[in-house]
Amino acid sequence: NAGVTQTPKFQVLKTGQSMTLQCAQDMNHNSMYWYRQDPGMGLRLIYYSASEGTTDKGEVPNGYNVSRLNKREFSLRLESAAPSQTSVYFCASNIEEVDTGELFFGEGSRLTVL
Amino acid sequence: AQKVTQAQTEISVVEKEDVTLDCVYETRDTTYYLFWYKQPPSGELVFLIRRNSFDEQNEISGRYSWNFQKSTSSFNFTITASQVVDSAVYFCALRESNFGNEKLTFGTGTRLTIIP
């Protein structure tokens, strides 16, 4: 019953450092998403992958890259972290049926950039 | 472009009171889906309900009820006889009907505090 698993759960970076957030789902979902959550801003979509081998930009993609490694895994990379990227990051995957649209979320990764 | 507005940033009520969380949406699609998610203090996001644009029937699930009105583009959420465990941030979200593009647009959330 793992669902969506994100690692790490907490990370502190210095400005300019790079890191990758890992996400894996075991529900055989096609679609996967990365959101960031900031106070007063709700959740904003960074990137998504509608299927293995495809990725698309969301609302706030600048400063991020993604890789859909296989059907299970979708990673988010910060090449040169900036304080503005301090946030809580959520990975999500989508249930198969088109007309439901329910997202299953990971527990979140809290990133602080100093 | 689609948009979701949750005008209430924070609400506090005394336990056992009823409370309504407002959600107003904008979309040009005639087919769309609306959602509510709950984020308790532990931080995870929990799916509460999905409603499609063809179904304006109100829904009740225990102490929770949802009122969907297309005429006012609203999808409001009411908690009856609130409990401390209802304290959380609640997000309303919208998905348009593009096949293969199931990304959600979220509102900014309403922080609900239930005072014992």
Beta bridge partners of residue B49, listed in sequence order: B36
End-to-end CA distance of chain B: 41
Cβ–Cβ below 8 Å for B50 and A102: yes
Q: Which residues of A touch B49 (CB under 8 A)?
A: none
The whole-number pLDDT of residue A6 equals 96
B40-84 tens-digit pLDDT: 998 999 999 988 888 888 888 899 999 999 999 999 999 999 999
Residue where the block lists tokens 């509460």 = B48
| Positive or negative: CA dihedral B31, B56, B95, B4 | positive
Q: Measured between CB atoms, which of B50, B101, B107 is closest to A50?
A: B101
Residues A14-39 have pLDDT tens digits of: 999 999 999 999 998 888 999 999 98
Asked whether residue B86 carries a pLDDT value surpassing 80, the answer given is: yes
Q: A92 to chain B: which residues are within 8 Å by CB? A: 45
Q: Which helix (H) or strand (E) holds A11?
A: strand A10-13
Q: Does A5 touch chain B (CB under 8 A)?
A: no
- Identify the pLDDT of residue B100: 54
| Rounded mean pLDDT, B8-36 | 94
The total number of residues shown for chain B amounts to 116
Give per-residue pLDDT as tens, B93-108: 998 766 555 678 999 9
